[in-house]
Each structure stands twice: as C-alpha cells, then as structure tokens.
Amino acid sequence: MFEKVLKDPVHDEILFDDPLLWALVNVPAFQRLRRIRQLGTSFLTFHGAEHSRFAHSLGAYETMRRVLFHLQRECGWPTDPREIRLALAAALLHDIGHGPFSHTFESVLGVHHETWTHRVILEDPALRSVLDGVDDEFALDLVRILRSDSRYPAVESLISSQLDVDRMDYMLRDAEATGVSYGLFELARLIRSLTYSDGRVYVKKQNLHTVEQYLLARYFMYVQVYLHPVTVGSDVLVENILVRAKDLIAQGERIDMPEPLRRVLQGDMEDVSWYIRLDESVLLYAFHTFAEQPDPILRDLAERFLNRRLFAPVVRQGSTPVDDLALLRTTAKAMGFHPDYYVTLRSCKIPGYDVIGQGLLLRDENGRVEDLSQASKLIRTLVPSQEERLFLPKEMLDPSNPLSARVRSIAYSAL
C-alpha cells in the first residue's frame, strides 16, 4: 500500500496514495514551482507572502481529493479510476506553466501562463514519461480538461469556475500568509455544499450562505490583497524592467543576463526547456546584473526594485484624458524620466459575481435549479467594478522639484 503524508498549514495534511501522482510531484518541472512565489511581488507589500506555487498546487490537489471523496460518498460520482486520476492530476499541474512573478512575466511575453501549462504537459519529456505511463491519451486529456473543452464538464468546473479547487486553496493560503482574516471561509462546509447530478456539479440550495461567505471573502481578497496599489506598482516596475531589457536586445545592445531569460525575451520559445529553466532566482539574479549595466534606465529600474523604491500609486476616478496623459509624459521627460518606463497607467478590474457563462447553479431537494444570483440579494450586489491607477516615481511628486506641481495637478485632477 502506497502512502505519503505531507504536513500543510492550510489543510493540516496532504495525502498521496497513488504512486503516479507522487511521481508527478517529483518531476523537475513541478519542483521548479518551489522557486516561484504564489503572490508574485506581494511580498513587498505583505512581508509574509513568501509561499510558493508549489505549496498552492499541492493544496489544490488536496482540495480536489477531498471534494471527490465527498461526491463519491454522497452522489456516487466519480467511479472511473482514470477520470479520478485526471481530476487529481489536473488540480496538481494546473499552474505548472507559471513564470517568475507570475502574471507580470506573461504580460511582457504576451503568452498566457495557461498556454505554457499546456506546452509543459505535452512537451516536457520527464513529465510526459510519467503521464504516458497511464496511456497515450492521458496527457492530451489533461490539457483538454484545462482548456475546458467539455469532454469532462464536471471535472472542468472543479478546476476552473467561480467555485473551484484552485480558488478554494489559494484564498485560504493567501489569507494565512498575508495575515488578513477577511479572506477566510469554511472550506469543509463549502465542500459539503457541493452535489452532483446529470453530469455536472451543483451547490445545494440550503447551503446558500456558505457560498455567500466564500464569494465575499474572494471579493475582499481582491480589493485588499491581490489588487493592493503597492503590489500593482511593484508589478509595474518588474514589467518595465523586463520591457526595457527586451527593447535593448531588440536594438542590438549586449545586455548581461542568464541565457534562459535572454532566449525567452528574444522570442525563442520553440524549446519549452528554456522556459522551464526560468524561476524567480534566475530573474532576481538578472536584476542584480541589470543594476550594474551601463544603460541608465535599466540600471535605475533594477535598483528601484531590489531596494524597494517603488513607484507611487495614484488611484483615479474615471478615465484619464489622453491630453492629460500626454502632458504628464512630456513633464516626465523634462524631469529626466523616460515616459515609456516611468509613467504607467493601469486599469484594475475588481471581480464581482459573473452570471453569464460562469454562474453557480443552486439545486434544491426537489431537483429545481436556479442561478445563485436569483436566490441571493447579497450576491446581486457583487457586480464587477474597475478603477484606474497611475504609477510614477515618487520623485515626480516631490514638492521640492519645481515641476512637481504640474505633475500633481494632472495626477490628482480627477480625484
């Protein structure tokens, strides 16, 4: 009998009783996730946010294991051993394509991490050798689940929806790491609220308030943690460092950096092995190297990140007029700051509850089904919203600079 038990701060214990899944954990591409933080640059805002994608992936797997155990016992699904393995493997590997500093890195490359996840699963030889040990279609079916192509609709909803094992784990894990209590919810009760019928997963109507608690926790985590202005500002700084390095490479400049980073920034992405070699230790080493480069912009941006001299966030009301942004860029240039790398506008979307295509379905004891928003006045108030933020070097807002008055008049004009 095979069994591995890992201690975990969120779930207490994480159980592996399938040698195949344990083999996946020990593949180098999965071990790489130890060196990628779950919350990207949030450690510069919340000093405890040092947990990794590795820990979260294990947690998502354990959450899926508990969900399946509940649904098997109560609803008799799933029964197919291969489908169970697919569900557990999908939960375990769903983030294997994340790059260093996560979403910031993928915005520079223009390739979503999910695309990399699919590629790593299909193209990494070590990972494929484990997956092909099940059958020749297992890896392809994993990717089909992660793409939500409707072959395994119930499993797909547990992997990616407004109520999935990914969110269930990362919200509790992120709340624990950042020290915020409003991200907490009753996981065991939430799992017991799930039911299965006619090929899909529902929420029991009598557990409405449990789901409300979860969705409110998600809302507050986005407002207070995931979209914290300081964190978004540090993401912007990382992005501008990488964009500057990429621009210099395109201009034919020779910039010292680790070869995997150079390959990816040059667009050499035919061989997935170069991407797998990238993690945050590589990127931080590159930033230390950039801080010693002759290019003054690259050197300054890298030093700002390494020494936490982050851009100042200005939260705006409404959209910034094009003329105001042009004037701000001109003023930045006059102050000695290249506007392409020192003046950044970001639109941050705060998710609410999405009904169209993603709604959660409640099912009562008589089999009647309705969308969560129909049954909950509270959830109907959780509509998506958006705010615009301007990120600038703090020096541009310093009153000692004679041009700062112009900057402040533009930056705070809509407040």
- The answer to the question of residue 339 being in a domain is yes
- The answer to the question of residue 65 being in a domain is yes
Range of the domain at 234: 228-310
Residues 164 and 88 both lie in one domain = yes
Could you tell me the CATH number of the domain that includes residue 249? 1.20.1250.30
- The answer to the question of residue 381 being in a domain is no
Of the chain, the end-to-end C-alpha distance in Å amounts to 64
Q: What is the pLDDT of residue 11?
A: 98
How many structural domains comprise the chain? 3
Q: What is the pLDDT of residue 306?
A: 98
Task: State the Cα torsion 222-223-225-226 to the nearest 10°.
Answer: 40
Residues 60 and 100 both lie in one domain = yes
Write out the E strands in 17-105: none
Could you tell me the CATH number of the domain that includes residue 173? 1.10.3210.10
Q: What is the pLDDT of residue 414?
A: 56
SS3 348: strand
Q: Would you say 73 and 137 are in contact if contact means Cβ atoms under 8 Å apart?
A: no
| CA 158 and chain centroid, separation | 17
Q: What is the pLDDT of residue 251?
A: 96
- The answer to the question of residue 374 being in a domain is no
Residues 214 and 69 both lie in one domain = yes
Residues 48 and 188 both lie in one domain = yes
Residues 46 and 87 both lie in one domain = yes
Residues 294 and 401 both lie in one domain = no
Q: What is the Cα–Cα distance from 302 to 286, expressed in whole angstroms?
A: 9
Q: What is the pLDDT of residue 125?
A: 97
- The answer to the question of residue 179 being in a domain is yes
Residues 232 and 146 both lie in one domain = no
Residues 255 and 403 both lie in one domain = no
Look-up of token digits 């949030």: 42
Which two structure tokens, joined as six digits, stand for 217?
A: 């926790």
Q: Which of 271, 290, 310 is the last residue of a domain?
A: 310
Q: Which of 226, 259, 289 is the last residue of a domain?
A: 226
Report the half-sphere exposure of 81 (CA within 13 A, side-chain side).
Answer: 5
Residues 136 and 11 both lie in one domain = yes
Residues 330 and 190 both lie in one domain = no
Q: Which of 226, 244, 266 is the last residue of a domain?
A: 226
Q: What is the pLDDT of residue 295?
A: 97
Residues 137 and 52 both lie in one domain = yes
Residues 185 and 239 both lie in one domain = no
Tens of each residue's pLDDT in the chain, 415 residues? 999 999 999 999 999 999 999 999 999 999 999 999 999 999 999 999 999 999 999 999 999 999 999 999 999 999 999 999 999 999 999 999 999 997 888 888 888 889 999 999 999 999 999 999 999 999 999 999 999 999 999 999 999 999 999 999 999 999 999 999 999 999 999 999 999 999 999 999 999 999 999 999 999 999 999 999 999 999 999 999 999 999 999 999 999 999 999 999 998 888 999 999 999 999 999 999 999 999 999 999 999 999 999 999 998 877 888 998 999 999 999 999 999 999 999 999 988 998 867 889 999 999 999 999 999 999 999 988 888 999 999 999 999 999 999 999 988 875 4
Peptide bond into 78 cis (omega under 30): yes
Q: What is the pLDDT of residue 269?
A: 84
